[in-house]
Amino acid sequence: MMISVRDLHKSFGSVEVLKGINAEVKEKEVVCVIGPSGSGKSTFLRCLNLLEEVTSGDVLIEGTNLTDPKVNINEVRSRVGMVFQHFNLFPHRTVMENITLGPIKVKGLSKDEAKKVALPLLDKVGLSDKADVYPESLSGGQKQRVAIARSLAMEPRIMLFDEPTSALDPELVGDVLAVMKDLAKEGMTMVVVTHEMGFAREVGDRVLFMDEGIIMEEDIPENLFGNPQNPRTQEFLSKVL
Protein backbone atom coordinates (compact mmCIF):
# COMPACT_ATOMS: atom_id res chain seq x y z
CA MET A 1 0.00 0.00 0.00
CA MET A 2 1.41 3.42 -0.92
CA ILE A 3 -0.65 5.38 1.57
CA SER A 4 -2.61 4.10 4.55
CA VAL A 5 -4.50 6.47 6.77
CA ARG A 6 -6.08 5.12 9.94
CA ASP A 7 -8.48 7.00 12.15
CA LEU A 8 -6.82 10.34 11.39
CA HIS A 9 -7.93 13.23 13.58
CA LYS A 10 -6.76 16.80 13.26
CA SER A 11 -7.73 19.76 15.40
CA PHE A 12 -6.78 23.40 15.18
CA GLY A 13 -7.01 24.51 18.78
CA SER A 14 -10.39 23.30 19.97
CA VAL A 15 -11.86 22.96 16.48
CA GLU A 16 -11.74 19.42 15.12
CA VAL A 17 -11.34 19.59 11.36
CA LEU A 18 -10.67 15.92 10.57
CA LYS A 19 -12.81 13.53 12.56
CA GLY A 20 -11.50 10.08 11.86
CA ILE A 21 -10.34 9.53 8.30
CA ASN A 22 -9.61 6.04 7.00
CA ALA A 23 -8.21 5.72 3.50
CA GLU A 24 -5.83 3.65 1.44
CA VAL A 25 -4.13 4.40 -1.84
CA LYS A 26 -2.55 1.63 -3.89
CA GLU A 27 0.47 1.94 -6.14
CA LYS A 28 -0.31 3.69 -9.45
CA GLU A 29 -3.75 4.63 -8.24
CA VAL A 30 -5.21 8.07 -8.88
CA VAL A 31 -7.51 9.12 -6.08
CA CYS A 32 -9.50 12.32 -6.39
CA VAL A 33 -10.88 14.10 -3.35
CA ILE A 34 -13.95 16.27 -3.75
CA GLY A 35 -16.21 18.02 -1.29
CA PRO A 36 -17.54 21.39 -0.19
CA SER A 37 -15.31 24.23 0.94
CA GLY A 38 -14.09 23.86 4.51
CA SER A 39 -14.72 20.12 4.62
CA GLY A 40 -11.04 19.43 5.39
CA LYS A 41 -9.74 18.31 1.98
CA SER A 42 -6.59 20.43 2.10
CA THR A 43 -5.98 19.56 5.73
CA PHE A 44 -6.24 15.87 4.89
CA LEU A 45 -3.80 16.21 2.00
CA ARG A 46 -1.35 18.25 4.08
CA CYS A 47 -1.37 15.57 6.78
CA LEU A 48 -0.03 13.15 4.16
CA ASN A 49 3.35 14.89 4.16
CA LEU A 50 3.12 16.37 7.63
CA LEU A 51 2.72 19.97 6.54
CA GLU A 52 0.08 19.71 9.26
CA GLU A 53 0.88 17.95 12.48
CA VAL A 54 -1.42 15.00 13.03
CA THR A 55 -3.48 15.17 16.24
CA SER A 56 -4.12 11.42 16.45
CA GLY A 57 -4.23 8.38 14.22
CA ASP A 58 -1.70 6.96 11.79
CA VAL A 59 -0.44 8.01 8.37
CA LEU A 60 1.73 5.45 6.62
CA ILE A 61 3.65 6.31 3.47
CA GLU A 62 5.03 3.15 1.88
CA GLY A 63 4.97 1.60 5.33
CA THR A 64 6.72 4.51 7.10
CA ASN A 65 4.54 5.79 9.91
CA LEU A 66 4.72 9.58 9.85
CA THR A 67 3.45 9.86 13.40
CA ASP A 68 6.50 7.97 14.68
CA PRO A 69 8.58 10.67 16.38
CA LYS A 70 11.78 9.04 15.09
CA VAL A 71 10.76 9.31 11.45
CA ASN A 72 13.03 11.33 9.15
CA ILE A 73 10.36 13.63 7.84
CA ASN A 74 12.59 15.34 5.27
CA GLU A 75 13.36 11.99 3.69
CA VAL A 76 9.67 11.09 3.53
CA ARG A 77 8.79 14.47 2.06
CA SER A 78 11.34 14.00 -0.69
CA ARG A 79 9.38 10.89 -1.70
CA VAL A 80 6.07 12.74 -1.68
CA GLY A 81 5.67 15.60 -4.15
CA MET A 82 3.19 18.35 -3.46
CA VAL A 83 1.61 20.82 -5.85
CA PHE A 84 -0.17 23.81 -4.34
CA GLN A 85 -3.10 25.88 -5.46
CA HIS A 86 -0.95 29.01 -5.57
CA PHE A 87 2.12 27.33 -7.11
CA ASN A 88 4.52 28.63 -4.46
CA LEU A 89 7.40 28.91 -6.90
CA PHE A 90 10.54 30.54 -5.51
CA PRO A 91 10.41 34.04 -7.05
CA HIS A 92 14.12 34.79 -6.56
CA ARG A 93 15.18 31.74 -8.55
CA THR A 94 14.91 30.99 -12.24
CA VAL A 95 12.71 28.18 -13.49
CA MET A 96 15.78 25.95 -13.76
CA GLU A 97 16.93 26.87 -10.25
CA ASN A 98 13.45 26.20 -8.89
CA ILE A 99 13.60 22.71 -10.28
CA THR A 100 17.21 21.88 -9.39
CA LEU A 101 17.24 23.21 -5.81
CA GLY A 102 15.81 20.03 -4.32
CA PRO A 103 18.02 17.59 -6.23
CA ILE A 104 21.12 19.65 -5.37
CA LYS A 105 20.45 20.33 -1.70
CA VAL A 106 18.50 17.23 -0.71
CA LYS A 107 19.93 14.55 -2.99
CA GLY A 108 23.40 16.04 -3.24
CA LEU A 109 23.54 16.11 -7.05
CA SER A 110 25.97 18.47 -8.76
CA LYS A 111 24.55 21.40 -10.69
CA ASP A 112 25.13 19.63 -14.00
CA GLU A 113 23.61 16.38 -12.86
CA ALA A 114 20.59 18.28 -11.57
CA LYS A 115 20.21 20.05 -14.90
CA LYS A 116 20.22 16.71 -16.66
CA VAL A 117 17.31 15.72 -14.45
CA ALA A 118 15.49 18.99 -15.02
CA LEU A 119 15.71 19.31 -18.80
CA PRO A 120 13.54 16.31 -19.72
CA LEU A 121 11.04 17.40 -17.06
CA LEU A 122 10.83 20.89 -18.52
CA ASP A 123 10.28 19.26 -21.89
CA LYS A 124 7.59 17.05 -20.43
CA VAL A 125 5.63 20.05 -19.10
CA GLY A 126 6.22 21.91 -22.37
CA LEU A 127 8.43 24.69 -21.03
CA SER A 128 11.90 23.93 -22.38
CA ASP A 129 12.27 27.49 -23.60
CA LYS A 130 11.59 28.96 -20.15
CA ALA A 131 14.51 27.45 -18.22
CA ASP A 132 16.25 30.74 -17.58
CA VAL A 133 13.36 33.07 -16.89
CA TYR A 134 12.04 34.07 -13.48
CA PRO A 135 8.61 32.89 -12.37
CA GLU A 136 7.10 36.39 -12.46
CA SER A 137 7.20 36.36 -16.25
CA LEU A 138 5.16 33.15 -16.51
CA SER A 139 1.40 32.74 -16.80
CA GLY A 140 -0.42 30.91 -14.02
CA GLY A 141 -0.65 27.74 -16.07
CA GLN A 142 3.06 27.85 -16.86
CA LYS A 143 3.86 28.44 -13.21
CA GLN A 144 1.86 25.43 -12.17
CA ARG A 145 3.59 23.26 -14.75
CA VAL A 146 6.97 24.42 -13.40
CA ALA A 147 5.76 23.56 -9.90
CA ILE A 148 4.88 20.07 -11.12
CA ALA A 149 8.31 19.71 -12.73
CA ARG A 150 9.92 20.92 -9.49
CA SER A 151 8.16 18.18 -7.55
CA LEU A 152 8.97 15.53 -10.15
CA ALA A 153 12.66 16.41 -10.03
CA MET A 154 12.80 14.72 -6.63
CA GLU A 155 11.56 11.53 -8.33
CA PRO A 156 8.72 11.18 -5.86
CA ARG A 157 6.78 7.96 -5.44
CA ILE A 158 3.57 9.84 -4.73
CA MET A 159 2.24 13.19 -5.95
CA LEU A 160 -0.25 15.26 -3.96
CA PHE A 161 -2.21 18.00 -5.70
CA ASP A 162 -4.27 20.59 -3.82
CA GLU A 163 -6.65 22.21 -6.29
CA PRO A 164 -3.87 22.73 -8.81
CA THR A 165 -6.09 24.48 -11.34
CA SER A 166 -8.46 26.54 -9.23
CA ALA A 167 -6.27 29.67 -9.26
CA LEU A 168 -6.00 29.56 -13.06
CA ASP A 169 -7.88 31.38 -15.76
CA PRO A 170 -10.20 28.87 -17.45
CA GLU A 171 -8.24 28.82 -20.71
CA LEU A 172 -5.06 27.79 -18.86
CA VAL A 173 -6.57 24.87 -16.97
CA GLY A 174 -6.31 22.43 -19.86
CA ASP A 175 -2.51 22.45 -20.17
CA VAL A 176 -2.07 21.67 -16.49
CA LEU A 177 -4.66 18.91 -16.53
CA ALA A 178 -2.99 17.42 -19.60
CA VAL A 179 0.32 17.19 -17.75
CA MET A 180 -1.44 15.52 -14.83
CA LYS A 181 -3.16 13.09 -17.14
CA ASP A 182 0.19 12.10 -18.65
CA LEU A 183 1.56 11.53 -15.18
CA ALA A 184 -1.38 9.32 -14.30
CA LYS A 185 -0.88 7.34 -17.51
CA GLU A 186 2.77 6.77 -16.64
CA GLY A 187 1.64 5.15 -13.43
CA MET A 188 2.29 7.87 -10.87
CA THR A 189 0.42 7.38 -7.62
CA MET A 190 -1.62 10.54 -7.16
CA VAL A 191 -4.00 12.11 -4.66
CA VAL A 192 -5.77 15.06 -6.22
CA VAL A 193 -8.04 17.48 -4.39
CA THR A 194 -10.01 19.06 -7.20
CA HIS A 195 -13.09 20.96 -8.28
CA GLU A 196 -12.63 19.60 -11.81
CA MET A 197 -15.31 16.93 -11.84
CA GLY A 198 -14.46 16.10 -15.45
CA PHE A 199 -10.90 15.29 -14.48
CA ALA A 200 -12.00 13.21 -11.50
CA ARG A 201 -14.41 11.26 -13.69
CA GLU A 202 -11.96 10.70 -16.51
CA VAL A 203 -8.62 10.17 -14.73
CA GLY A 204 -9.58 9.13 -11.23
CA ASP A 205 -9.52 5.45 -10.30
CA ARG A 206 -11.44 6.29 -7.18
CA VAL A 207 -13.19 9.36 -5.85
CA LEU A 208 -13.50 10.31 -2.17
CA PHE A 209 -16.29 12.65 -1.16
CA MET A 210 -15.39 14.53 2.01
CA ASP A 211 -17.76 16.53 4.16
CA GLU A 212 -17.51 17.78 7.74
CA GLY A 213 -14.11 16.20 8.30
CA ILE A 214 -14.93 12.64 7.30
CA ILE A 215 -15.05 10.66 4.08
CA MET A 216 -18.79 10.41 3.51
CA GLU A 217 -18.60 8.24 0.44
CA GLU A 218 -16.02 6.68 -1.83
CA ASP A 219 -16.36 4.76 -5.04
CA ILE A 220 -15.17 4.44 -8.60
CA PRO A 221 -16.06 7.60 -10.56
CA GLU A 222 -18.93 6.03 -12.56
CA ASN A 223 -20.74 5.03 -9.40
CA LEU A 224 -19.99 8.09 -7.32
CA PHE A 225 -21.01 10.52 -10.04
CA GLY A 226 -23.65 8.33 -11.64
CA ASN A 227 -25.35 6.83 -8.64
CA PRO A 228 -24.32 8.49 -5.37
CA GLN A 229 -25.71 6.78 -2.28
CA ASN A 230 -25.17 9.33 0.48
CA PRO A 231 -27.66 12.24 0.52
CA ARG A 232 -24.82 14.69 1.21
CA THR A 233 -23.01 13.47 -1.90
CA GLN A 234 -26.19 13.82 -3.93
CA GLU A 235 -26.73 17.35 -2.65
CA PHE A 236 -23.11 18.37 -3.34
CA LEU A 237 -23.09 16.89 -6.85
CA SER A 238 -26.41 18.47 -7.74
CA LYS A 239 -24.81 21.85 -6.96
CA VAL A 240 -21.54 21.41 -8.86
CA LEU A 241 -22.53 19.31 -11.86
Partner 1 sequence: MDFITQSHYYRVMPMLLEGLVWTLLITGIGLIFGFILGAIFGFARLSKSKIIYGIATVYVEVVRGTPILAQILFIYFGLSDLLGVNIDKITASIIAIAINAGAYIAEIVRGAVYSIDKGQEEAGRSIGLTRNQTMRYIIWPQAFRRMIPPLGNQFVISLKDTSLFSVIAVGELLYMGQQYYGATFAAFEALTMVCIMYLVITVPTAVYLRRVERRLDV
Ligand X SMILES: Nc1ncnc2c1ncn2[C@@H]1O[C@H](COP(=O)(O)OP(=O)(O)OP(=O)(O)O)[C@@H](O)[C@H]1O
Q: Which residues are near partner 1 by CB under 8 A?
A: 49, 51, 74-75, 77-78, 80-82, 84, 86, 88-92, 101-102, 105-106, 147, 150-151, 153-154
- Residue 42 as a binder of Mg ion (CB under 5 A): the answer is yes
Q: Provide, rounded to whole angstroms, the least separation between the CB of residue 145 and Mg ion.
A: 20
Task: Look at residue 74 and give the partner it binds from Mg ion, partner 1, ligand X, none, a contact being a CB closer than 5 to 8 Å depending on partner kind.
Answer: partner 1
Task: Please answer whether residues 209 and 230 qualify as being in contact, where contact means their C-beta atoms are separated by less than 8 angstroms.
Answer: yes
* Nearest to partner 1 of 91, 170 (CB atom): 91
**Which span sits near Mg ion by CB under 5 A: 38-46, 120-128, 134-142, 216-224?**
38-46
Residue 211 is given by DSSP the state E
Q: Provide, rounded to whole angstroms, the least separation between the CB of residue 156 and ligand X.
A: 21
Task: Please answer whether residues 191 and 157 qualify as being in contact, where contact means their C-beta atoms are separated by less than 8 angstroms.
Answer: no
Distance CA 58, CA 132 (A): 42
Nearest to 56 by CA among 23, 20, 24, 25: 20
Task: Look at residue 47 and give the partner it binds from ligand X, Mg ion, partner 1, none, a contact being a CB closer than 5 to 8 Å depending on partner kind.
Answer: none
Nearest to 181 by CA among 164, 168, 167, 166: 164
Q: Provide, rounded to whole angstroms, the least separation between the CB of residue 72 and Mg ion.
A: 27
Distance CA 223, CA 75 (A): 37
Task: Please answer whether residues 81 and 151 qualify as being in contact, where contact means their C-beta atoms are separated by less than 8 angstroms.
Answer: yes
Give the dihedral of Cα atoms 228, 231, 235, 241; nearest 10 deg. 0
Residues 6-65 binding ligand X (CB under 6 A) are 12, 17, 35, 37-43
Task: Look at residue 49 and give the partner it binds from Mg ion, ligand X, partner 1, none, a contact being a CB closer than 5 to 8 Å depending on partner kind.
Answer: partner 1
Task: Look at residue 101 and give the partner it binds from ligand X, Mg ion, partner 1, none, a contact being a CB closer than 5 to 8 Å depending on partner kind.
Answer: partner 1
* Nearest to ligand X of 43, 98 (CB atom): 43
Angle at 83 between CA 82 and CA 88, to 5 degrees: 110
Applying CB under 6 A, which residues contact ligand X? 12, 17, 35, 37-43
